[in-house]
Every structure is written in structure tokens, then in C-alpha cells.
Structure 1
Amino acid sequence: MSWLQQRQDVLAENVANADTPRYAARDLESLDLSKYVNEGRKIRPVRTDVSHMTLDSAGGAPRIVSTSSFETTPSGNSVALEEEMMKVAQTQMDYQLASGLYARSVSVLKTALGRA
């Protein structure tokens, strides 16, 4: 969730600088959760349906990287607002999913402890 919050900050900075000359759009480097799955255990999730989520997010300290865009304004700005808004929406959905799963797991633990 921390990575998603930091990504929203970087994307908001991109949108805020959409008119700044020679500003290059940035994003966080994707984190690789598979290294956490493989540490200590040899358990791998199996995708049995196309609607299942995959582990294509990241782990570790996020690194800000420049993104490449097909659009560049005459002033040299590479921020495409449509692309940034799509990234913001996807990040928001990912955050809502993570917080929903966390809330549900807390609820299950409370039920198991008899504190529901």
C-alpha cells in the first residue's frame, strides 16, 4: 500500500507539471513480489483462470524512473494527461483492492478470536 501511495504522489507531480517546459514524466519502478513468494518457501501461485490476478507488482524500495511517451510537446514536455489519468485510476483501484483485502482479513481474525 505504501508503494501505491508513493506512486500516486509521483503521478500527481506529473499532472501538476503538465505545462512545465522540458519536464519528463516519471513513474515508480515496478516491484517484484515473486521474490517474496520464493524466499524461504517454494510456493508459487497458479493462475487457473484468466480473471485471476497475477503477481506483477513490486517489492523493495521504490525507485523513480523516467517513462517514455509517444507524445512530446514543442516545449519538450512528455506528460500525456490521458495516460497519467489512466495510471492514477489503476493505482486507486489497486489501493482499494488492497485495503479491502486487509479489512476483510482483520474481520476474519476478529471472528476467529471471538471478538466479532
Structure 2
Amino acid sequence: MAINFDKAFGIHQHTIGIRSRRTEILAGNIANADTPGYKARDINFKDALQNAKTRSGVHLNRTHESHKFAQSFSMAQSGELYRVANQPDTGDGNTVDTEVERNLFMKNSLEYQASLDFLNSKISSLRKAIKGQ
């Protein structure tokens, strides 16, 4: 009997990559908190998850069989958007609110860890089932 990983892992197999990407974006926001003109970015999780589940994207044509398969994603296709500023402009055009970014970073880290724990539990259950325990 074949194992269907989509059924076994649910959406958590997709959330790991999205949460990882969101960690990079939020860390970039925090790192650029003092950069004039920098606009805070974030991911629309719902849209990014839908794209990951349907594996949509722009497929690049290969002109030779030895070329590697590649996909290209625009900012909008990945669910990445600019965040609306919560604070008035300080004159430098930067929209990063460090406190908000740190809170979102921590929340994202917890959600990432929860998805990892869920996947570890599922993998452990599958391993036991394969061994017949």
C-alpha cells in the first residue's frame, strides 16, 4: 500500500517553506529599520499557502535537455506585499516599526516550530507503522 504524503502531512509540509521565507522577510525588515526609504514587507500567508499547494508559478522554458528546470516567482505570486505603516512617517520614508516586526518574528517562529513538531509527530507515527510497532 502506497503512502500518500499529502494526506499524511496535510498543509504542514507547505507551511514550513512559507514560514521560513517569512522569517527571512521579517529579519530583513528588522535589519533595515534605520534604512531611509525602506518599506516593510510581509507575506500574505493565505495566498502563499494556496500557491504552494497548487504549485503555481511562472515556468521557464528549457532550450536544451541538459538545462535545469526552474521556476520564477514575482513578489505578488509569492504572496509578498508591502505592509501599511502603523506609525506616522518620520521624514525618512521608512515604514518599519521595530516592535511590530519583533512581535511578528516571534509569532512566526512559534508557528514554524509548531509545524515542525507536527511533522515530526507524523513522521514518527509513519515510522512506527512501517516497522509494525
In 2, Cα distance between equivalents of 1:110 and 1:28: 34
The residue number in structure 1 matching 2:7 is none
1:21-42 deviation line (CA, Å, top 9, x unaligned): 111101012225xxxxxxxxxx
In 2, Cα distance between equivalents of 1:99 and 1:30: 17
Q: Determine which structure has the larger helix proportion and give its number.
A: 2
Contact 2:18–2:45 at 8 Å: present in 1 too? no
CA RMSD of aligned residues (A): 1.8
Contact 2:34–2:94 at 8 Å: present in 1 too? yes
Question: Please, which runs of 5 or more residues in structure 1 have no aligned partner?
Answer: 33-56
Moved over 4 A (4+): none
Letter in 1 for 2:85: S
The count of residues paired between Structure 1 and Structure 2 equals 92
Q: Work out whether 1:64 is the aligned partner of 2:55.
A: no
Q: Deviation at 1:75?
A: 1.0
Q: Work out whether 1:24 is the aligned partner of 2:42.
A: no
Comparing 23-32 and 75-84, the one that deviates more: 23-32
Aligned ranges 1:1-116 → 2 under 5 Å: 1-32=16-47, 58-60=49-51, 62-71=78-87, 72-114=89-131
Q: Deviation at 1:97?
A: 0.4
Q: Deviation at 1:60?
A: 1.0
Q: TM-score, normalised by structure 1?
A: 0.72
- DSSP-derived class of the 2:81 partner: strand
Question: Please, which runs of 5 or more residues in structure 2 have no aligned partner?
Answer: 1-15, 53-77
1:34-84 deviation line (CA, Å, top 9, x unaligned): xxxxxxxxxxxxxxxxxxxxxxx8321522200012213221111000100
Letter in 1 for 2:36: P
Which structure has the larger Rg? 2
Q: TM-score, normalised by structure 2?
A: 0.63
